[in-house]
Amino acid sequence: MNNNAVNVASSDDMFSTPFLLGSVGAPFIIGMAVGYFAKKMLKTALFIGGGIIVMLFVSEYYGIVRIDDAGLQHAADAATDAAKSSSSFLVNRLSSITSKGVSASVGFFAGFKLA
């Protein structure tokens, strides 16, 4: 048995701790934090938007304003499109963190499901 043989992981080793932390661990955590934040902000926006819509319905009931159903649906469609575009922007940005981009994107979706 050779005592001079030392098991040293090179920087090219895919299963070494530094490689996994830099290429998989840190981007996953970043993606998870961004996904968690995005989910919380979406819930907050939905809560505030729902409150505004309820106030509009109450105002319409008392004859203060008149709400057009088509206009309300158009506003909801515009908000949905804005949420989709911001979500795709975040995922595209996170996918550029690592060479493959899979770790950060998976972290985003995990963080989004976490909240």
Instruction: Kindly report, residue by residue over 28-68, the tens digit of the pLDDT.
Output: 888 888 889 989 999 999 999 999 999 999 999 999 999 89
Name the region of 65 (left: φ>0; alpha: ψ -120 to 50; beta: rest): beta
Q: What is the pTM of this model?
A: 0.68
Judge whether 94 and 18 are in contact, CB under 8 Å. Answer: no
Residue 98 pLDDT exceeds 80: no
pLDDT in the model for residue 51: 95
Mean residue pLDDT across the chain: 79
Q: Span 86-95, mean pLDDT?
A: 83
Q: Span 10-38, mean pLDDT?
A: 69
Judge whether 88 and 8 are in contact, CB under 8 Å. Answer: no
Q: In 3D, which of 22, 31, 25 has the Cα closest to residue 111? A: 31
Q: Which of 18-32, 54-68, 98-112 has the lowest mean pLDDT?
A: 18-32
Q: Span 17-34, mean pLDDT?
A: 71
For residue 88, give Cα distances in angstroms to 16, 54, 63, 98, 111.
32, 30, 41, 17, 15
Tell me the H-state helices in the chain: 17-20, 26-61, 69-95, 102-114
Which two tokens mark 26? 């840190």
Tell me which of 23 and 37 has the higher pLDDT.
37
